[in-house]
Amino acid sequence: MKRFLSQYLPLLTVLAAIGVLVFSPSCANTTTPPSGGPKDTIPPVLLKYWPLPGDTMVTRHKTQISLTFDEFVVVKDAQSLFLSPPLEKTPKYRLRNKSVIVTFESDLDSNKTYVLDVTNAIADNNEGNMYPGYALVFSTGKHIDSMMVTGLVQDCNTLMPVKGATVMLYKDHSDSAIFKRRPDAAIKTDDWGFFCLRNIQDTVYRMYAIMDMNNNNIYEADQEQVAFIDTLIRPSQKVNDSIPELQKYIMTDTVACQARKTEYELNLFKEVPSKQMIMNKERIGERTAYITFMAPYAQIDSIWMTGIPADRLITQFNLEQDSLEIWVNDPNPLPDTLFLNVDYLKTDTLGNLVPTVEEVKLAKPREMAVAKSSRKDIKKEDTTTVFTITAQPETVEQYGFEIEFKYPLVESAFDSLEFRYLNPKQQEFTDTYTVVQDSLNLRKYVVRPTSRLLPGYEYFLKVPQHKFKDINGFYNDSSEVKVMLPNDDKLSSLNLVLDNVHNKYIIDLLNEKRDQTIRSFIVEKDTTLLFPYIKTGKYSIRLTEDLNRNGLVDTGNLLEHKQPEKVKFFKLDDGTAFLEIPEMTELEQSIDVGEMFK
């Protein structure tokens, strides 16, 4: 038997192996690829670095910083390799095995504390998991600065956090410092608009924030947004690694990110340009053109076109008075090029507003210069007065029926409009109405029925043909619009009771993202506002203090130390910033406006 086993055991082993290959279920299933294991969701881990945190007397010349991770990484955003205080040129980097080597094109300053922040900069090479970040602190002198300040940067209109803003501290307190030199300390905000300027000197600073479009750490007013703190600041906290505000969090960790305390809030705004001049010009039709100015509230003494009587011109400024529309009220053919003369106050080389007459050439658009060769080239708008009628079911009670003509009218017959309605029994009636020309748009008219609109009724507004004539000499075709109030019984309503109102305020109901205005009001006294036909969801209530009573949300001015007009969002007693409105509900919410803006 032993002889048999010794002779045939190798053969039995081979046969057994073949049997496993033939009958194994996993091998027979040739359509199933081998599993690669669970997806890697762990971000890179920083293993070592040079210089060491807190190192002093670090070389100033050809300084290199090395960050070594537990896996191969990539630099997702080179601009997020941020050195404070910043140098003239941004840091450079190269990858070497599992290390990121950061270098600088110029020497570091002597006796200075530096912080290299790598938040939002590095991810693993395979899955793109972002490294939460790290701040490496070192000094070219014998001392490490130890103070810190925290804060939040947000948009001045929505109060939403702003990611990637540059927060800057200046020991130079002059107004011109932010325009001329780089800051003494700086940092980028994270996804939550949060910033922590760490390891800074114990001294007095001016604090600013900018959206640094070209990453030069200098404010350029014509292109960038800015925010500032009204007073000088002095840091009061010392750096301690146990402080939560110094930790680096994964940005999806909402609880931890929102729990961080902030000392300062900066509201970003776009400044009104300080220089006044004509910026753009365009002739957009045979008899239509516009010019725009760099700054608002352009001061025009007179305006005329060469060879065209002054009384043939129709002009209209927008509300900010930085855009002027011009029409020629003459149905006869006009030259291919119009010469517009504008006598206005223009900023000279010394920065003063001086009377200037500027000639603007307005060439006919190319598509209009080509004659229409056949009837198929002629559009309806080439022979008729073009207009639109707008009526939204949710807002028609507040805003009415809006009729907007493409060109100004020279003949009108608003008494010829036909307004009728059908009740739920399909009985037809007519009603009277009022017509008001829009104060900001001379081509727009608002029609409102005399009687209150009712649910379940169908309302019709008809513009009969051949009743309106525009500056082209064309008459209108007829048009009709129908509207019904929303009849979805799942809709809700909100009564907003405003008390202690002593100024003029703009009240807006916004969606949850705060990027859409559902309905807007302007109030000057205690009142109750009705917001009907609201779908279930979360909403924000924005209150803007209109101190100059112009109906606009005015921006700020850095050199005049003027902040943008105050914006507040109503919060519930528990701090919740949103009203959650369920279905089929009539809500009432009271707001002490004076208390919010005290």
CATH for 381-484, options being 3.30.310.50, 1.20.970.10, 3.90.220.20, 2.60.40.3710: 2.60.40.3710
- Please tell me the distance from the alpha carbon of residue 107 to that of residue 62, in angstroms, as a whole number: 6
* Per-residue confidence (pLDDT) for residue 577, from 0 to 100: 86
Nearest Cα to Cα of residue 593 among 554, 574, 566: 566
Check: CATH 3.40.50.11540 for 147-270? no
- Please tell me the distance from the alpha carbon of residue 407 to that of residue 325, in angstroms, as a whole number: 11
- CATH 2.60.40.3710 intervals, the chain: 381-484
3-state secondary structure 93-132: EEEECCEEEEECCCCCCCCCEEEEECCCCEEECCCCCECC
Residue 14: partners with Cβ closer than 8 Å, 6 or more residues away: none
List residues bridging with 261 in a β-sheet.
none
Residue 230: partners with Cβ closer than 8 Å, 6 or more residues away: 561, 563
Exposure of 498 by Cβ count < 10 A (0-12 exposed, 13-18 middle, 19+ buried)? buried
For 66, the token pair is 């090395």
Residue type at position 375: R
pTM of the model: 0.77
Distances (CA, A) of 585 to 236, 489, 497, 597: 49, 10, 16, 29
* Per-residue confidence (pLDDT) for residue 351, from 0 to 100: 86
- Please tell me the distance from the alpha carbon of residue 362 to that of residue 454, in angstroms, as a whole number: 50
Exposure of 270 by Cβ count < 10 A (0-12 exposed, 13-18 middle, 19+ buried)? middle
Nearest Cα to Cα of residue 98 among 77, 58, 70, 139: 70
Own/partner contacts of 327-330, CB < 8 Å, gap of 24 or more, are 327/287, 327/288, 327/407, 327/408, 327/471, 328/287, 328/288, 328/471, 329/287, 329/408, 329/410, 329/471, 330/287, 330/471
* Per-residue confidence (pLDDT) for residue 371, from 0 to 100: 53
- Please tell me the distance from the alpha carbon of residue 160 to that of residue 226, in angstroms, as a whole number: 15
* CATH architecture assigned to 46-139: Sandwich (2.60)
* Per-residue confidence (pLDDT) for residue 540, from 0 to 100: 94
* Per-residue confidence (pLDDT) for residue 25, from 0 to 100: 40
CA dihedral 565, 571, 576, 578 (to 10 degrees): -70
Per-residue pLDDT tens digits of the chain, which is 598 residues long: 434 334 443 444 434 444 433 344 433 333 444 555 566 678 899 999 999 999 999 999 999 999 999 999 999 888 889 999 999 998 999 999 999 999 999 999 999 999 999 988 899 888 888 898 899 999 999 999 999 999 999 999 889 999 999 999 999 999 999 999 999 999 999 999 999 999 999 999 999 999 999 999 999 988 899 999 999 999 999 999 889 999 998 888 999 999 999 999 999 999 988 899 999 999 998 899 999 999 999 999 999 999 999 899 999 999 889 999 999 998 888 999 999 999 999 999 988 999 999 999 999 887 765 555 545 555 666 689 999 999 999 999 999 999 999 999 999 999 999 999 999 999 999 999 999 999 889 999 999 999 999 999 999 999 999 999 999 999 999 999 999 999 888 999 999 999 999 999 999 999 998 989 999 999 999 999 999 999 999 999 999 999 888 877 888 999 989 999 999 999 998 888 899 999 999 999 999 999 999 8
Check: CATH 3.90.950.10 for 278-369? no
Are the CB atoms for 493 and 584 separated by under 8 Å?
no
- CATH 2.60.40.1220 intervals, the chain: 46-139, 278-369
* Per-residue confidence (pLDDT) for residue 380, from 0 to 100: 65
* Per-residue confidence (pLDDT) for residue 377, from 0 to 100: 57
For 594, the enclosing helix (H) or strand (E) is helix 593-596
Check: CATH 2.60.40.10 for 492-596? yes
Are the CB atoms for 541 and 550 separated by under 8 Å?
no
